[in-house]
Structure 1
Amino acid sequence: MDKKRRNFIRSLALTPLLAGIQSSFAHSALKPLPQTRVQYSLNAFSFNSQLRSGEMSFFDMMEFAAAIGLNAVDLTGYYFPSYPEIPEDTELFQLKRKALELGLNISWTGVRNNFVNPDATGRAADRELIRKWLTVSSSLGASIMRVFTGSQAYEGFTKDEVKDWLVEEFKTCAGYGEEKGVIVGLQNHNEFLFESSEVIDILKRVDSEWFGLILDIGSLHSKDPYAEIETLAPFANYWFIKEHVFPNGTRTPVDMNRISSIIKNQGYQGYVSFESLSEGDPKQIISSMFNSFKRAYEIIS
């Protein structure tokens, strides 16, 4: 049997197998991927006292996060010794190296700003702070940076006028974020925008893919925080899970089953970050929160 004939027979034998493989790929391509993939992170504010006193460092926090099985850490800007000035690159790169060694991502950074400030010069200074720290976020490989509305007396102005300031400031900051490849994420923080409808209004008016929402479940103090959370869920780029919610302002242990259901039913894929504000051992509290959420999330069909 000559070589040409052998190759022809071999190709006939392989045809059903190749057709089956192609059919399998085509079939799988038609199947929608399950919209339930989340990653877990740890917010530095959980260790506020320890980080400020020097009892812990970012490196210690990262080791703890890796040890309990988290995927990432949120490195808040004001725990860097240089804040509000930006750190040296050498400091940032050491953190990136440590994260790589531990199999972690640095998903988030955050600053403290106040755009509810009637003083335009003060708002400009905070705008510049955000611009500089977006460079830090980019250097760390963080995909989102937290900003606030701020909270301050604004006598002589209406709330709608202040909202106009916010929209213009956030539009400018979103432009900075686009330049650095980092989303500017507004954390609803129960300090100026108190209802989900107000938060959504600002998001829609800014109207930028580089401006988003960090959904803080502990900062909605309405009659039914879970309803507010569910309303905001479609807009969330990042989630903060805390151990309490506040119906009518009353501190109440969070229902992890309800929160995890909202997140999973929304089809959210991204980071869920844990932040403890309670007294006690933050390591124990965070471990308990993480395990409770994960158990609840995994049993939802």
Structure 2
Amino acid sequence: MSHDVYVCGTPYEKALRSGEMSVLDLGPIAAKVGAAGVEYRTVYWQDVETELPAVVDQAAALGLCVTYASFATLYGGDEDTEAGLLRDIAHARALGSPLLRVFRGAGDDDTVARAVLAAAEAAGVTLALENFVKAPGNRLAEVIGTVRALDSPALGVNVDVGNYVKNGQDPVAAAAALAPWTVYCHFKDVRMGDDGPVATYPGNGFVDLPAVLAALDPDVPFGFEYPGEGDPESAIRAGLEYVRRHE
């Protein structure tokens, strides 16, 4: 399998948010299903000062790689936003993550963006800009415009397949257009639920995922960011099997 696959906490969202599970439960799951590693998120720490070094030790012991995701924005922020992003970059570096997922945000003031990109470059961390659904800066043209305007070696793109569908845009066209900057992909399918499109495991929806795969570089890592469909481990395994069959 060319695409390294990372287990996200999304299938276990409720348990992680409630404290029923901790970040230290994700590594053994990734190792069990045969994933390359885990995508950790800023919102899942219960005590980052003790959990982060424990995660580093656990990942090394299990032979797992790590990616990291922030919910901070590059635009529309202030000094607190910048401080938060600098902290997240430091945590990404400590975790050994090559990237940090971020969102664009609103407005045109790029002061914060340029400051944190300089820090990211110094830390050896690439910021992966995602098209967060229904949020400012989520359109394909805005993502392309942002990476071109900032023109930084520390800025790439995370293609979230499901978010392009939910935003009413073609995920295949998006994957093709963003290929020069893509450093990560939230690879998932989409099915119709009672209230509209719902993310699901690859092969359980209507997205032309073979065409998405064809548009992506074969070495782009995948994060499995979708609900567990009542059986999280089976949903992760189904995604892994789909990727292995279609690469």
TM-score > 0.5 by shorter chain:
yes
* 1:55 is the counterpart of 2:8: no
Question: How far apart in 2 are the matches of 1:212 and 1:227?
Answer: 17
> Match for 1:136: what amino acid?
H
> Match for 2:185: what amino acid?
W
Give 2:213's aligned residue. Answer: 260
When the two structures are superposed, what TM-score results if normalisation uses the length of structure 1?
Answer: 0.71
Q: How does 1:161-180 map to 2 (within 5 A)?
A: 162=107, 164-165=108-109, 167-180=110-123
> Match for 1:242: what amino acid?
K
SS in 2 for 1:110: strand
* 1:290 is the counterpart of 2:240: yes
Q: Would the aligned equivalents of 1:219 and 1:245 in 2 still touch at CA under 8 Å? A: no
Q: How does 1:274-289 map to 2 (within 5 A)?
A: 274-277=224-227, 279-289=229-239
Unaligned runs of 5+ in 2: 199-204
Question: How far apart in 2 are the matches of 1:179 and 1:281?
Answer: 41
Number of corresponding residues: 235
- TM superposition shift of 1:74: 0.6
SS in 2 for 1:65: helix
- TM superposition shift of 1:250: 4.8
Which protein is richer in helix relative to its size? 1
> Match for 1:52: what amino acid?
R
Give 2:159's aligned residue. Answer: 215
Unaligned runs of 5+ in 1: 1-35, 152-161
Structure 2 residue corresponding to 1:234, chosen from 136, 155, 180? 180
- TM superposition shift of 1:37: 3.6
Identity of aligned residues (%): 26
> Match for 2:239: what amino acid?
M
- TM superposition shift of 1:150: 3.5
* 1:109 is the counterpart of 2:68: yes
Question: How far apart in 1 are the matches of 2:138 and 2:223?
Answer: 21
Taking CA–CA contacts closer than 8 Å with sequence separation of 6 or more, which of the two structures ends up with the larger relative contact order? 2
Question: How far apart in 1 are the matches of 2:169 and 2:74?
Answer: 27
> Match for 2:64: what amino acid?
L
Structure 2 residue corresponding to 1:138, chosen from 64, 69, 93? 93
Moved more, 54-63 or 211-220: 54-63
Supply the RMSD in Å over aligned alpha carbons: 2.3
Q: How does 1:1-301 map to 2 (within 5 A)?
A: 37-82=2-47, 87-88=48-49, 90-106=50-66, 108-114=67-73, 117=76, 123-150=78-105, 162=107, 164-165=108-109, 167-190=110-133, 191-220=135-164, 221-244=167-190, 250=197, 253-263=206-216, 267-277=217-227, 279-297=229-247
- TM superposition shift of 1:292: 0.9
Which protein is richer in strand relative to its size? 2
